[in-house]
Amino acid sequence: MPEAHSLHRHARDQRAALAGQVLSVSSPQGRFDATPFDGHRLVDVQAHGKHLLYSFEQAPDVHVHLGMKGIFLRTEDLSLPPRAGTRMRLAGETTAFSLIAPSRCEALDAAARAELLASLGPDPLREGAAAREEAARRLGTARGAVGAAVLDQSVWAGIGNAWRAELLFLAGIDPGRRVDEAEAGRVWDLAVELLPLGVDAGQVVSDPTAPDERWVYKRETCRRCGSPVGTRTVGGRTAYTCPVDQR
């Protein structure tokens, strides 16, 4: 599933290409009612964790969650017909984005938008260092293993399995145990430092000196010490850990 860095990259790119323009909005697939948005000006596109919110003039917001299979296709050739499976197509003056196979694509009124945002924890790419105390409190007081809690979007928004593996490795924390607020603050600091690099690179970047490498995520051996990477299920997802560096 795309994690926060991917959603913030989508928001940045689409905002730059479409914001301020009157859009042609359609649903070639027919599973999204584009009528309230077609011919309206797009004001902004924002990412909140793994969610995208599109704000239009004189229209509700559009909420998108990509889920496991959702993708965006971009084109600068507006004469090309969209794929039949496109749930929502946003076409501006020179650029169009086609959304395919999202888990959610829906209109949100102000109350529903507020309810969605209230359900999410702090996002390292939005609040950054300013949210450190709240983020540390939420993770440090969460019940159960840190590896499950950090995937809970009501604790922190935007962290998925890849970032979990790399952040907890760098913090020296095994995902199967609980953490205190000091340890949680260290993990947050790493997220605030590294996730912006992921937005720019379009991938998880857990080592700025080797952006294409991972420490433990989907590796057979730990990149730091060479020990075999251990795997087990934590929080319903496969956790990748180094038995030496994450005791």
With a pLDDT cut of 70, the percent of the chain lying above it is 100
State yes or no: pLDDT of 84 exceeds 90: no
Return mean pLDDT, the chain: 97
Residues of each domain in the chain carrying CATH 3.20.190.10: 4-118
Q: Look at residue 14 in the predicted model and tell me its pLDDT.
A: 98
What class does CATH assign to 4-118? alpha beta
1 band by pLDDT with thresholds 50, 70 and 90 = confident
User: Given the structure tokens 């947050």, which residue do they identify?
Assistant: 188
Into which CATH architecture does domain 128-241 fall? Orthogonal Bundle (1.10)
- Using a 10 angstrom Cβ sphere, with 0-12 exposed, 13-18 middle and 19 or more buried, the burial of residue 87 is buried
Of 152, 125, 147, the residue nearest 48 (C-alpha): 125
In which residue ranges of the chain is CATH 1.10.8.50 found? 128-241
Q: d(Cα 158, Cα 191) in Å, to the nearest integer?
A: 10
Pairwise CA distance, residues 148 & 173, whole Å: 13
Mean pLDDT throughout 82-98? 96
- Beta strand pairing status for 51-56 and 61-65? antiparallel
C-alpha distances in Å from residue 165, one per residue of 124, 181, 226 = 16, 19, 16
Q: For residue 28, what pLDDT is reported?
A: 96
Active centre residues (catalytic): 2-3, 50, 237
118: enclosing H helix or E strand: helix 110-118
pLDDT for 96-133, tens place per residue?
999 999 999 999 999 999 999 999 999 999 999 999 99
Secondary-structure breakdown of the chain: helix, strand, coil percentages, each rounded to the nearest 5:
30, 25, 50
